[in-house]
Structure formats: C-alpha cells, structure tokens
Amino acid sequence: MNLDDLFGGKVAPRLDCGGRELLLDRPRVMGILNVTPDSFSDGGRFATMDAALAHAERMADDGADIIDVGGESTRPGSKPVSADEQCRRVLPIIEALAKRLSVPIAIDSSDPLVMRRAAEAGAGLINDQRALSVDGAMDAALATKLPVCLMHMQGRPDTMQDAPHYLDVVGEVRSFLADRVLAAQFAGFDPKKLLVDPGFGFGKTLEHNLTLLANLRQLTGIGAGLLVGLSRKRMIGEVTEQALDGRVSGSVAAALIAAQQGAILLRVHDVRETVDALRVLAAVLPKRTKPKAGKSPTKGLWDDED
C-alpha cells in the first residue's frame, strides 16, 4: 500500500484520538465491543459493565490498537435506539475504559448527542455508519475535534437488505464516500482526521460485497484512510457455509485481503487471530521481489498495477 497516496505525506500518519495516538504506519486492528442486547454476533454477551470491561481488556491484551464501543445494533432489520438509551449503555463503559486502557476508544454512533457526550466521557474517535448525514451530526462531530469514520450505507438498517441495487457498486460507493469527505472538509474537518468505510453488508448483496472486496484498492485514493469491517458478517457465512461461531477463519482471510489492498484499520471481533495473521503478512511483504526480465508469472490479484 502507498500511505503517501492516502495522506499526502512521507511521515507515517498519526491520528490524535482525544490525546491518545493511533499510529497508522501499517494495518491496525479495531476491536469490537457491542454493549447492545441485540447485536448480530454477540448481542447481550457484553451488556454488563464487568463483562464489557473484561472483554475490552482482553482485546487490548491481544493487540487491539483501538476499541470501538457501540450501543445501537444496526444489523439488518434492526430498529433505532434513542440517544438517551445509547448514552445509558455506552457512557459508563467509555469512562471506565478511558481510565483503564492506554489505547483509544471509539464511539460507534450516528447521533449528535451521543457523539458529544461520548467525547466528554473519553472517546477519541467517532465511527458513524451514516457518514454525518443525520441532522446536527456534522456540527457535533466537528465540535468534538475528534477523527471521524464515514461509512456507506444504502437505505436504513430496517430495510437496507430488502432489495439493494447498484449499476456499479464500486463506483457508486467510491463516489458517495468522496462526496462525504468533501462535505466534511468544507465543514472544517482536517482531511487527515477522516477515515472512510465501504460498509460491507449495509445495503449490499453477497455479489456486491465480493465485488467491493475484490476492488477495494479503488477506494484508497479519495483522501482518507480506509477502515473495513468484514468480521463474521453474513457474506463470510455465505461463502464458507459456516454459522457465526465458525466464521473466524473466513473473517481473518477477508481482513488480510483488505489489508493487502490498502485498508489501514480492520474492525474485528477476533483480535488475536487477526493480529497474528497481520504479523505474518508484515513479515512476508518486504521479501517480495520483482520478476526477472523475460519471466511472466501469473499476475496476482494484489500485485501493484503496471
């Protein structure tokens, strides 16, 4: 990957996440902490304070570079959760984690009030699945002075999987994210504080998801770092024919494909397994050599473009 293309500089980019640094010199891991009763993967498992803190600490020990805390499920068919209820779920946990952990904490929410209050509680990054499109979200996020991830979603969580349709899924997702990056910049955001997420599984069929993953590199040139969340999603289950508890290997494989195409932050449930896989990738990539003259090996999917 070429980080200069992403951030326009020769020094490894660093995100200031509310006073805590997230170094993006190589693909990093964001551990998922859902404190909801109805998350698709781990709903209810970490809804209590003790369980949430223990899981977050375990993910940090396993190598997570940032912990993403969410209080509203956005699985297909889910219903909205009020700002007050999200705050009730996430604020005590964010406050406790900010005291216990050295890694940054992200808030996974699209609600302006939740963004502001989470920042006050110690969150250092806003992960917004609605790309700051909710009324007041742009101003609220800007006021926190925190980095923001802007995600693509076609439709709403309760209806997004009814009949997703694209003429060109890669081009349309790229155009949407580029537009949201520009909107954030015009609002006053430092472009080096922006991330984008193609939103795997959010208003997309299996074919859409696979096409996005195969062409992910096309999303790395729009002036923002690329965050990808593929962990345990339905697309992994459909490809591997595995239920949720059997999707670890497929999720790690998808994360590596994303990393090889320029994803700089990988949002995952299985932190240790992903960290280990990235270590192997980091050990191998520097050993690559260009083919000698006259040789024409089969071109790999993630080889550099000619």
pLDDT tens-digit map of 232-247: 999 999 999 999 999 9
**pLDDT at residue 149 greater than cutoff 70:** yes
Other Cβ atoms less than 10 A from the Cβ of 135: the count is 8
Residue 39 falls within a domain, yes or no?
yes
Residue 215 falls within a domain, yes or no?
yes
Return the CATH number at 82: 3.20.20.20
Nearest Cα to 220, choosing from 256, 193, 259, 188?
259
Chain position carrying tokens 């990738």: 281
**Is 36:47 a contact under the CB 8 Å cutoff?**
yes
pLDDT at residue 288 in the model = 82
Q: What digits encode the pLDDT tens for the residues 85-117?
A: 999 999 999 999 999 999 999 999 999 999 999
**Is 31:59 a contact under the CB 8 Å cutoff?**
yes
The catalytic position among 174, 233, 234, 247 is 233
* Percent of the residues in the chain that have a pLDDT greater than 70, as a whole number: 86
* Percent of the residues in the chain that have a pLDDT greater than 90, as a whole number: 74
Containing structural domain, residue 122 = 21-287
Residue 295 falls within a domain, yes or no?
no
Q: Per the structure, how many domains does the chain have?
A: 1
Side chain identity at residue 129, one-letter code: Q
Residue 298 falls within a domain, yes or no?
no
What's the rounded Cα separation, in Å, for the pair 198 and 44? 27
Residue 152 falls within a domain, yes or no?
yes
Q: What digits encode the pLDDT tens for the residues 184-221?
A: 999 999 999 999 999 999 999 999 999 999 999 999 98
Residue 6 falls within a domain, yes or no?
no
The catalytic position among 180, 217, 247, 267 is 267
Residue 64 falls within a domain, yes or no?
yes
Residue 69 falls within a domain, yes or no?
yes
280, two tokens: 């192997």
**Is 174:219 a contact under the CB 8 Å cutoff?**
yes
**pLDDT at residue 300 greater than cutoff 70:** no
267 has catalytic annotation: yes
**Is 37:96 a contact under the CB 8 Å cutoff?**
no
